[in-house]
Amino acid sequence: MDLFGQEVIFKPDIVPPPVILDQVKIHNDDSSLNSADIDPSPPRRIIAVGDLHSDLPNTLKVLKFAGIIDDNREWIAQSEDECSQQTRSNLFLISIHLELDTTLVQTGDVVDRGPDTKELFALMRRLTYEAPKFGSDVVALLGNHEVMNMQNDLRYVTEEDFASFGGREPRAKDFSTSGDLGQYLRSLDLVAKVNGTVFCHGGITPHWAKVGISTINQSARRSLFSRTPEEGSLNPVFGADGPLWDRSYAQEDEKTICSKLTEALREMNARRMVVGHTPQLAGIKSRCRGRVVLIDVGISKAYGGRLSALELFADSAHAIYEGPIRVKLPRAKAEL
């Protein structure tokens, strides 16, 4: 029993077979992107949401109490510089100031274990389109389950999910390199850095930090457009210790991971890492004095329906729970 009043046994995904790093050479050519934020104009507020696993109702609840959408599922987070005469339901607001107000980051695993994959991706794509009209932004990242589906690994797809696409064949076509959803997914990154915080699904070890954010994303995208899923799966970026599957920051002892984390953050010129992938059944967890935050709380009813989001400002971090209830987290300080 946890603070959500629920009891769930965590069954981890079956990890991919190990890949020998020397089999595929990846060159670090992105030192410039490791030394500066991707966003040229950083947001005042970041909301990060972990694994959703095909649960639309619970996703909507989280986005509502985090102040991202309203009851009509429309984007409402906007900057103080928006025209005051405009109502929040107007999707054609013109930003007076270029500084972003809110960035919503979703760290992957929208798909699998539930019935709402198609609707959830439609929601994320629409919010990505709407957010800039409110002086805001959406960063959607790939999780291991998105990649599994693109590589035809369908072990965790439900029958309701297949049916929502009209069957197995139409779903496979939509996830393919020529499909509408497949092309959208292949446009997403594995890793993003926003205002000094690195976001990814599993975790960035020192090895992958040295490889570099841009190189990781470019290499993954090339592989996902490979002629066959088998060919693309050979890329070590999709391996058990890669950014999608690594669980070390959630599972290893603090002495071990804090040293490793410091090295990785130094390589990426970042002060904090935020990851999903490994369910935290007691709620959002901060480790290493706030320098890594674990945000997969099991939002989907497949994991117990624990609802939470991470809120970051320049000088503070909070876990937000239904209510809404805000719990202060340690402020990450760079140790470069």
Residue-wise pLDDT tens digits, 228-241: 766 667 899 999 99
Confidence category of residue 4, pLDDT binned at 50, 70, 90? low
101's CB contacts (< 8 A; 6+ apart) are: 43, 44, 45, 77, 78, 79, 80, 81, 134, 135, 136
Residue-wise pLDDT tens digits, 125-182: 999 999 999 999 999 999 999 999 999 999 999 999 999 999 999 999 999 999 999 9
- Residue 290 · residue 329 · CB < 8 Å: yes
User: What 3-state class would DSSP assign to 287?
Assistant: strand
Domain ranges of the chain: 22-73+96-329
pTM above 0.75, yes or no: yes
Confidence category of residue 107, pLDDT binned at 50, 70, 90? very high
Residue-wise pLDDT tens digits, 284-320: 999 999 999 999 999 999 999 999 999 999 999 999 9
Confidence category of residue 209, pLDDT binned at 50, 70, 90? very high
User: Residue 277: pLDDT above 90?
Assistant: yes
Is the previous residue joined to 16 through a cis bond, with omega within 30 degrees of 0?
A: no
Overall CATH class of domain 22-73+96-329: alpha beta
Token pair of 18 as six digits:
């190990």
